[in-house]
Homo-oligomer: A and B are copies of this chain.
């Protein structure tokens, strides 16, 4: 496995692979790899001739009061995981190579970026869209793998990829969970034991929402209430949002027709955690 630090080295590597008529699967990450990332790497491994994992804590997607500085960084450990999962290359650039002093270009995916997490994290998705476009330009993958825990991020990247004709196949991957239901996240490391226990209310709220939906409830209000009530019982959880939205536009909907995204974001201790589930009316 090769570890590449310079964007131009990464691009040269990818061009060489492409010249051999091999496909490249790409897993962009901020490191602190967990089972969720591993599942992405495995899917990429299964579907492509070569696999690239990027490890880069992207400063432009963090707000000034957010956790950029203390975001977990453990490159040696991450590289070992990539190697064990048979990645062919790890791209691990320096901030100054990704954002030279005179970097001025940013990508906005309008409307989609101002919903849900975009409200409490202004500029976040601008940073995400920009860095993903840059990484696509550097790595030049055939396919790129993203987890559905970050549903809004995925919707934004899919739209950007289509709108800017980037030509990458975006592969949606199921959220990987701890045995007790907590969605895997690098930010779970911020939780104390007590907070960790309360955080289970997030996935429990989503499961209860699914159950009520499966029982026939189609109005958003009662579905939102089920989730809100469960979260409200936990003393250290501060709800950022509980939402039922159109999966394409991310607009709030009042009644679910065919499908809807139920999404939750909470603050708990030092962590901000998100999770979601797709509600789908069974046809026939």
The interface of chain A, by Cβ under 8 A from chain B, is 7, 11, 102-112, 129-130, 133-134, 137-138, 140, 159-160, 163-167, 248-249
Listed A/B pairs (21) with beta-carbon separation below 8 Å: A11-B165, A11-B167, A102-B249, A104-B109, A104-B110, A104-B111, A105-B109, A105-B110, A105-B159, A105-B160, A105-B163, A106-B110, A107-B164, A130-B164, A133-B164, A134-B165, A137-B165, A137-B166, A137-B167, A138-B165, A140-B167
Tell me the number of copies of this protein.
2
Question: Which of A105, A129, A164 counts the most B-chain CB atoms under 10 A from its CB?
Answer: A105
> In the complex the two chains form, is B108's CB within 8 Å of A163's CB?
no
> In the complex the two chains form, is B138's CB within 8 Å of A104's CB?
no
Q: Shortest distance in angstroms between A275's beta carbon and chain B's nearest beta carbon?
A: 25
Chain B residues near A102 (CB, 8 Å)? 159, 248-249
Give me the 9 closest cross-chain CB pairs, A-B, nearest first: A137-B165, A105-B163, A104-B110, A138-B165, A105-B160, A105-B109, A106-B108, A104-B109, A103-B163
Q: Which residue of B lies closest to A99 (CB)?
A: B163
Chain B residues near A160 (CB, 8 Å)? 105
A166 to B136, CA, bound (A): 9
A159 to B164, CA, bound (A): 17
Chain B residues near A133 (CB, 8 Å)? 164
Q: Shortest distance in angstroms between A26's beta carbon and chain B's nearest beta carbon?
A: 13
Chain B residues near A166 (CB, 8 Å)? 137
Chain B residues near A108 (CB, 8 Å)? 105-108
A249 to B102, CA, bound (A): 9
A130 to B165, CA, bound (A): 11
> In the complex the two chains form, is A104's CB within 8 Å of B159's CB?
yes
A43 to B56, CA, bound (A): 40
Chain B residues near A159 (CB, 8 Å)? 102, 104-105
> In the complex the two chains form, is B107's CB within 8 Å of A105's CB?
yes
> In the complex the two chains form, is A105's CB within 8 Å of B134's CB?
no
Chain B residues near A105 (CB, 8 Å)? 107-110, 129, 159-160, 163-164
Chain B residues near A249 (CB, 8 Å)? 102
Chain B residues near A106 (CB, 8 Å)? 107-108, 110
A102 to B158, CA, bound (A): 12
Q: Which residue of B lies closest to A18 (CB)?
A: B18
Chain B residues near A103 (CB, 8 Å)? 163
Q: Shortest distance in angstroms between A203's beta carbon and chain B's nearest beta carbon?
A: 30
A224 to B224, CA, bound (A): 64
Chain B residues near A110 (CB, 8 Å)? 104-106
A159 to B101, CA, bound (A): 12
